[in-house]
Amino acid sequence: MFLMEFSITPMGHGESVSSCVARCVDIVEQSGLDYRLHAMGTVVEGELEPLLRILQQSFEILRPDCDRISCSVKFDYRRAGKDRLDGKVASVERKLGRDLKK
């Protein structure tokens, strides 16, 4: 199972790009995969092919309106990993002995 963290940014759209980001988050949500949106990107859990499909569809939905798109992507694979979106945070919380801000 993979975790994919990505941030996709259309260039030349001014300071706020939330309308473009919202279109990409809609693609993530429609995938049915578990995800977490945060201030600097989105983390999605799934197998590699559906994750790559999300990236491709995100580019495709932005391309008609954007002359340039920047994307940062990070993958984390773990063979026996499952429910890692919450599990990784829970592990740190156990070690600290308290809940963290979410």
The answer to whether 21 and 32 have CB atoms below 8 angstroms apart is: no
Q: Domains, the chain, ranges and CATH?
A: 2-96 (3.30.70.930)
Does residue 27 contact residue 58 with C-beta atoms inside 8 Å? Answer: yes
Helix (H, G, I), strand (E, B) or coil at 37: strand
Dihedral angle of Cα 90, 88, 38, 101, to the nearest 10 degrees: 20
How does DSSP assign 38-69, residue by residue?
ETTEEEEEE-HHHHHHHHHHHHHHHGGG-S-E
pLDDT digit string, tens, across residues 35-67: 999 999 999 999 999 999 999 999 999 999 889
Give the tens place of pLDDT for each residue, 2-17: 999 999 999 887 778 8
pTM: predicted TM-score of the whole model, two decimal places: 0.88
